[in-house]
Structure 1
Amino acid sequence: MAFAAVTPLARPVSAMLRCVPARRPSSFFGAVVPLSSSVPATFSRQAGATPGATPAVASVARSASAPNAPEPIHLLGACGQRNLRDRAIQASSTRSEGSRALSSRAAAARGEVVAGAAAIPTIGFLGLGIMGTAMALRLVRSGYRVTVWNRSPKKTRPLVEAGAIAAPTAAAVTAACDITFAMLSDPAAALEVACGPEGAAEGLKAGKGYVDASTVDVETAVKVAQAVRATGAQFLEAPVSGSKKPAEDGTLIFLAGGDWDLYERAGPMLDIMGKSTFFLGPEGSGASMKLVVNMVMGSMMAAFAEGLALGERVGLDKNTILQVIEQGAIASPMFSMKGPLMVNGTYSPAFPLKHQQKDLRLALGLGDELAQPLPVAAAANEVFKKARREGHGRDDFSAVFEAVRLQQQE
């Protein structure tokens, strides 16, 4: 398989591109189906190919903000080498001050009504927790007609007050909407909402799309995809990197996999909710990427908490520790954001600790399936489990510091 270096078109992304065979896996585990319309020969975002040619991308990065004159991209290997500068300028997804490149669809994404424009898709949203509420609100405020549902109906109130429509079931949402997004808490919830009684699958049919942004394991992503496709609808997994504030600001990073056509159709909505999107391949690839990212994040946080607790134990000022770290080689936006919470002992949840521990558990499960040792992540998971047992599950995941402090005092 040939690979190519990529010069990023936009500030947040740089992706490795490779040639895609005429057939690709329909699931993470290797079953193959005809390429069909899942990955077209012509790309409308940051990667492109001659119409009718085999597409030259398996991992595509797309940004909601791109420079006016991007550097050329060169695709190498079996697909040959092409300068895609002109196509990139025409096709790349751009956003300036929150808007995409001028087109009727982009105007729809901004909530504008354009004479003669194609019908603006109706949007559904399932799951209105910390993340789902912020994401759905951005869609409502951008002018989309959004129908929402949550297992606890009272959580729909802020969305209804903003202009959304509340539906009684997940099936009612998907039946009423062209594209439905889901942001559920764990694999069990993702399966129940998609496949259970009055679930999303009951309202799906050909022409509709289901985008699952939940953080789940690969097996769950594949099961949901199969249930969705059995109805004739299209499926896209799109777990996110980011927490409450990025969700509110529309700066999430989407890690997508599944049906390319739906990835294209959902593009304007993804741009409203996020700053960049990676299309990684078939369903399961997005789930894997998310687990890798959150495994690293949890391990970093556990180590950070241990260092801060050790410094406190030997009499160092915690604020000074943060200043030293911020000015050195291990400076991290996460440390800058979470350090003050840990110093002050205030843990208003942006990313609940119970979800971080769940993601570590899922990552360790993936490692077990592959016989891949993950000793650092395993140790971090034990610390997060201890914090959950001590009652910090609903606190921000930086509250792991409290468990570390207690452990060092024992």
Structure 2
Amino acid sequence: MTFSCVSDPSALKDLVFGNCGVLQGIGPGKAYIDMSTVDVETITDVHEAVTTRGGRFLEAPVIGSRQPAMNGQLLILAAGDRTLFDDCYSCLEAMGRQTFFLGEVGSATKMKLVISMLMGTVLAGLAESMALAEHIGLDQEEVLKILTLSPVSCPLVRTKGNAMMQAQFSNPHCRLHLCQKDLRLAVNMSDTVEQPLHVASAVNELFKNVKSKGFV
């Protein structure tokens, strides 16, 4: 079994289809599990290439950043070959606190992008709320305390709100360009089914604008 997790569709294509890539070692009796967050088209192409060569394939994108990964606390979304899922379950269990099997290839990627889209929009809303609170003279510590007791409380609000309050921006758990990449992929996916995403599209443009100012 070979596992991989890379940053974006381009990196995955290079890893799989490039010179001395994953496909060079794929054949009957071999299995490939990719844990990257990419688009449905890319993960489908990888699946078809692996299975055409007689290998087994599982997509398994993760929810969680660096610290949950180090602590084995990721959420893992898997789809593809069910027998491979069963065979590698102990490995997935070691990396995550819970693993879901979602059916055919593409389903896990769709789920991950939907969740990433929501996380991005929540993060943007939280940042604007904290900024407004500061500029109108509210105590940010008190704002965050009340937020964490309110219906909008969640781990993202608690951890990112605390980081904003303390201006801890130098060592982010997830880089801006990766958050924006996930938003972009979600917005692109929505175009394929003609589903408007007014808020997510606006947040994607916001993140792009911040990137253009040199933040990564």
Q: Normalising by structure 2, what TM-score? A: 0.97
Equivalence map 1:13-92=2 (5 Å): none
Larger Rg: 1
Equivalence map 1:257-268=2 (5 Å): 257-268=79-90
Structure 2 counterpart of 1:251, from 66, 70, 73: 73
Equivalence map 1:1-400=2 (5 Å): 179-347=1-169, 348-393=171-216
After TM superposition, give the deviation of residue 391 of structure 1 in Å. 2.1
Deviations 1:54-110 (A, max 9, x none): xxxxxxxxxxxxxxxxxxxxxxxxxxxxxxxxxxxxxxxxxxxxxxxxxxxxxxxxx
Deviations 1:258-305 (A, max 9, x none): 111110111010000001111111111010000000000000000111
CA distance in structure 2 between the aligned counterparts of 1:209 and 1:256, rounded to whole angstroms:
14
Aligned residue identity for 2:57: F
CA distance in structure 2 between the aligned counterparts of 1:303 and 1:339, rounded to whole angstroms:
11
CA distance in structure 1 between the aligned counterparts of 2:76 and 2:35, rounded to whole angstroms:
8
SS of 1:378's partner is helix
Report percent identity of matched pairs: 43
Structure 1's unaligned 5+ residue stretches are 1-178, 394-410
CA distance in structure 1 between the aligned counterparts of 2:141 and 2:210, rounded to whole angstroms:
23
After TM superposition, give the deviation of residue 234 of structure 1 in Å. 0.2
CA distance in structure 2 between the aligned counterparts of 1:305 and 1:365, rounded to whole angstroms:
24
Deviations 1:292-327 (A, max 9, x none): 000000000001111111111111121111011011
CA distance in structure 2 between the aligned counterparts of 1:250 and 1:285, rounded to whole angstroms:
23
Aligned residue identity for 1:340: N
- Whose relative contact order is higher, 1 or 2, with alpha carbons under 8 Å and at least 6 apart? 2
SS of 2:123's partner is helix
Deviations 1:209-230 (A, max 9, x none): 1000000000001001011112
CA distance in structure 1 between the aligned counterparts of 2:139 and 2:153, rounded to whole angstroms:
18
Runs of 4+ in 1 over 6 A off after TM superposition: none
SS of 2:214's partner is helix
CA distance in structure 1 between the aligned counterparts of 2:167 and 2:110, rounded to whole angstroms:
33
More helix as a share of residues: 2
After TM superposition, give the deviation of residue 349 of structure 1 in Å. 2.2
Q: Normalising by structure 1, what TM-score? A: 0.52
After TM superposition, give the deviation of residue 192 of structure 1 in Å. 1.1
Structure 2's unaligned 5+ residue stretches are none
CA distance in structure 1 between the aligned counterparts of 2:58 and 2:90, rounded to whole angstroms:
14
Equivalence for 1:117: none
Deviations 1:327-366 (A, max 9, x none): 1111111111111211222221211111000000000000
Aligned residue identity for 1:315: G
RMSD: 0.9
Deviations 1:101-125 (A, max 9, x none): xxxxxxxxxxxxxxxxxxxxxxxxx
After TM superposition, give the deviation of residue 385 of structure 1 in Å. 1.1
SS of 2:75's partner is strand
CA distance in structure 2 between the aligned counterparts of 1:275 and 1:346, rounded to whole angstroms:
27
After TM superposition, give the deviation of residue 378 of structure 1 in Å. 0.6
CA distance in structure 1 between the aligned counterparts of 2:72 and 2:213, rounded to whole angstroms:
33
